[in-house]
Structure 1
């Protein structure tokens, strides 16, 4: 089994294919590594170029071709599923991440018994304030909401302990939130961040624009919910439901006393409508919590989805 697996999602990077493979071969040398490049349905000839490079460089290189463009998160998941190493390192294919940083990050996971070593592009070379400023705002917001304090959530260059990263499933555009997801399976002090090199893009075009900031914000709300309540949705919906029920009940009780104790007319009062709406909304949230609990139980039992990750097992033979 390869001790280190390098996973690289790639989409329409034909000009970077050969330089990337060369840089990886030079950086990894004779180390016990496998290189998994996932072609995410490229349409510019990258697929054929990858096949040529893999044929020329030997069995260390493994190329996975997806049927169409599924997105970076799905491509990364495909590579993680195929990885056999004890440590899995992810990086971008545009050579802005430096392959020379791969081994130091992976070796730190092994040497210091960590679960995640995340890259920090301390000196970013994007050269666009319109990308840097929203990125800094998003990073600060993610840190505050998830409790995982990394400077750079947008850096793909990260090293993961395989037993931990394989415990989560990635979908949508959740690749940037992986450290936050993993905080549900490990302690945050096993997630560290180190500065890494960052280079300006030399060829090709960036696949990201300013619009991704809005998608990040939407995904962040989903991440926040799953981090805190994926296994106990009743705690989320139930609290809201009880609060709304209490407000609605208090309003209706007040009107009941006003009507039958003092003979007041309540049929045309806005409080009556508001009280009924709050009461019904509270019931709806409680029902949603119950359904969520049932779905969570069905999901974990039907998929045999474990709610824990085994770090290692010590087996001692009984004395003779």
Structure 2
């Protein structure tokens, strides 16, 4: 198997036939051995029926149907687990990604030995206010925090070596940061290719402004996880120790100053009337809690399993 095309979708029945025909034509023209994996993320229209029809006509078409809508990250994760191709291509099902890009993406992975190629929709046909401007701000923040010089982290059209997608776990809404996840796993040959973006032909976008709020929150999460995800004690333990030592030092200072005044016959206020008493106490409690958080984080990492956060209802041709 040379190429696996992984396509997550939600209520895209109108575009599936055209998308399949387009991909199949590209594959046959280039004589690729291929599979198309459609992941139906809880569609409420006739998307799954259309996938069944396509799979009956073309054995290269495979389908995964979720029990309900779990999100794009979970759909990609399910597709990645079952993809067999030497090169894995991801694209959206709304016909805004152009299958004609596949041969060049494939060659960049195979011939130039890239681990991952991310598409860059340099010219977009989206709404400027709701998608283009927020997307530019989001990508600028992602570049700054991740160190990856990509222009379009969220482009659905990407190409991967099979070993890359098998080594990462995509959950939550981390599909935007797959290049960052790959980098964290040691894959550093990550490139970018300008790809053609097309206006949506059928239906409406499934994403609203809230995706950018969630995107920035996920960016903070992945920035933390990339540094301390496998060693939480290095973060929580460090700050916990610092806070505890600060509180202990403040407590000793209060005690020593109190004793000094007592021995010298100087009238003093109660220790509990000194604001530093509460600062010291709070610091010691916070330090202990942070240290325990780091310790618990280490225990969770050691004992966690790779449970799936989705339920597959049906499979086709697997």
Q: TM-score, normalised by structure 2?
A: 0.90
Pair 1:209-2:214 in alignment:
no
Pair 1:285-2:290 in alignment:
yes
* Cα distance in 1 for residues equivalent to 2:19 and 2:13: 10
- 2:311 is aligned to none
Mapped contact 1:72–1:173 kept (Cα < 8 A): yes
Residue 243 of structure 1 and its aligned partner are, at CA, apart by: 2.1
Residues 3-61 of structure 1, C-alpha deviation per residue, up to 9 Å, x if partnerless?
A: 111100011011111111111112222212111111112111111112212222x2111
Residues 60-87 of structure 1, C-alpha deviation per residue, up to 9 Å, x if partnerless?
A: 1112222222211111111111111111
* Cα distance in 1 for residues equivalent to 2:253 and 2:243: 15
Residues 140-199 of structure 1, C-alpha deviation per residue, up to 9 Å, x if partnerless?
A: 1112222222111110111111112111111111111111011112243x0111111101
* Cα distance in 2 for residues equivalent to 1:13 and 1:119: 22
Residue 111 of structure 1 and its aligned partner are, at CA, apart by: 0.9
Mapped contact 1:115–1:161 kept (Cα < 8 A): yes
Q: 1:269 aligns with which of 249, 252, 274?
A: 274
Mapped contact 1:115–1:186 kept (Cα < 8 A): no
Residues 105-143 of structure 1, C-alpha deviation per residue, up to 9 Å, x if partnerless?
A: 122111111111110111111133221111111111112
**What SS does the aligned partner of 1:247 have?**
helix
* Cα distance in 2 for residues equivalent to 1:293 and 1:78: 27
- 1:183 is aligned to 183
Mapped contact 1:118–1:159 kept (Cα < 8 A): yes
- 1:314 is aligned to none
Count of aligned positions: 298
| Pairing of 1:1-320 with structure 2 (within 5 A) | 2-29=1-28, 30-56=31-57, 58-188=58-188, 190-263=189-262, 264-265=268-269, 266-299=271-304
* Cα distance in 1 for residues equivalent to 2:145 and 2:99: 31
* Cα distance in 1 for residues equivalent to 2:242 and 2:141: 27
* Cα distance in 1 for residues equivalent to 2:261 and 2:149: 58
* Cα distance in 1 for residues equivalent to 2:46 and 2:164: 35
> Higher relative CO (CA 8 A, sep ≥ 6), structure 1 or 2?
2
Mapped contact 2:164–2:187 kept (Cα < 8 A): no
* Cα distance in 2 for residues equivalent to 1:297 and 1:215: 28
* Cα distance in 1 for residues equivalent to 2:94 and 2:151: 21
* Cα distance in 2 for residues equivalent to 1:247 and 1:143: 36
- 2:312 is aligned to none
Residue 249 of structure 1 and its aligned partner are, at CA, apart by: 2.3
Mapped contact 1:234–1:290 kept (Cα < 8 A): yes
**What SS does the aligned partner of 2:136 have?**
helix
**What SS does the aligned partner of 1:183 have?**
helix
**Is there any run of 5+ residues in structure 1 with no aligned partner, and where?**
304-320
Q: Aligned Cα RMSD in Å?
A: 1.5
Residue 225 of structure 1 and its aligned partner are, at CA, apart by: 2.0
Residues 284-308 of structure 1, C-alpha deviation per residue, up to 9 Å, x if partnerless?
A: 1111111211222223xx66xxxxx
Mapped contact 2:95–2:198 kept (Cα < 8 A): yes
* Cα distance in 2 for residues equivalent to 1:226 and 1:280: 25
* Cα distance in 2 for residues equivalent to 1:243 and 1:135: 39
